[in-house]
Amino acid sequence: DGGITQSPKYLFRKEGQNVTLSCEQNLNHDAMYWYRQDPGQGLRLIYYSQIVNDFQKGDIAEGYSVSREKKESFPLTVTSAQKNPTAFYLCASSKTPDRGPGEQYFGPGTRLTVT
Amino acid sequence: GQNIDQPTEMTATEGAIVQINCTYQTSGFNGLFWYQQHAGEAPTFLSYNVLDGLEEKGRFSSFLSRSKGYSYLLLKELQMKDSASYLCAALDSNYQLIWGAGTKLIIKP
């Protein structure tokens, strides 16, 4: 079955530590995205990538970093520079715009708590 | 700026019909999506409209008016499992999704 996996589902870290959230897809999608969702708010785009070895900042990229070394994988690192990292993080993928505006498919999410 | 507006919360009765409205302002427009999100879970795709009119898919229908910057999601024969948040998202000229904050739908027996 094709889909997107994120691990772990729940993650706890101490303030000042970097943490990496994984995202893997086997849908053969070129585009991948990272969103953050806070209670009562919509999805906010952190980073996105349309092809391997290329990615762009979204609306709230400060304090985050990503890599796209493989088509299937788009890990997100939450650095100690992110001032309010506790949130629900969602990874998504889609076909690229030149193939039509397809819907985004989401992973199950990782709930990160930093204390 | 780009903006999506939808009501924060709505309540409806099991078996009834509910309409969730969404207005959008974006730089260019390449279509509008509706997603369903149950608490603590990922959003799942419901519908996509790019042309004016109504798209029906089972108990769910979605409407778009490009000239008014307006869409609605219509849910018929409501079931308890329809209790969720419904997210409206517009695709701008750069094919980036602009998300609304979501409408929390509460279904009462």
- How high is the mean pLDDT of chain B? 95
CA distance B66 to A111: 36
Kindly state the tokens that stand for B56.
């029906």
Does the beta-carbon distance from B99 to A40 stay under 8 Å? no
Position A109 confidence tier, pLDDT thresholds 50, 70, 90: very high
A11: amino acid identity, one letter: L
**Per-residue model confidence (pLDDT) at position A41:** 82
Which of B62, B92, B99, B104 should one mutate to test binding to chain A, selecting the residue with the greatest count of A CBs within 10 A?
A: B99
Nearest CA in chain B to A44: B99
CA distance B17 to A9: 34
pLDDT, one tens digit per residue, over A54-88 is: 999 999 999 999 999 999 999 999 998 898 999 99
Question: In B, which residues are within 8 Å of A43 by CB distance?
Answer: 43, 87, 89, 97, 99
B42 vs A42, A44, A107: nearest CB:
A107
- Asked if the C-beta of B48 comes within 8 angstroms of chain A's C-beta atoms, the answer is yes
Strands in B3-108 per DSSP E: 3-5, 9-13, 18-25, 32-37, 44-49, 53-57, 60-65, 70-75, 84-91, 97-99, 103-108
In angstroms, the separation between the Cα of residue B102 and the nearest Cα of chain A is: 6
**Per-residue model confidence (pLDDT) at position B15:** 97
Say if residue A99's pLDDT is above 80.
Answer: no
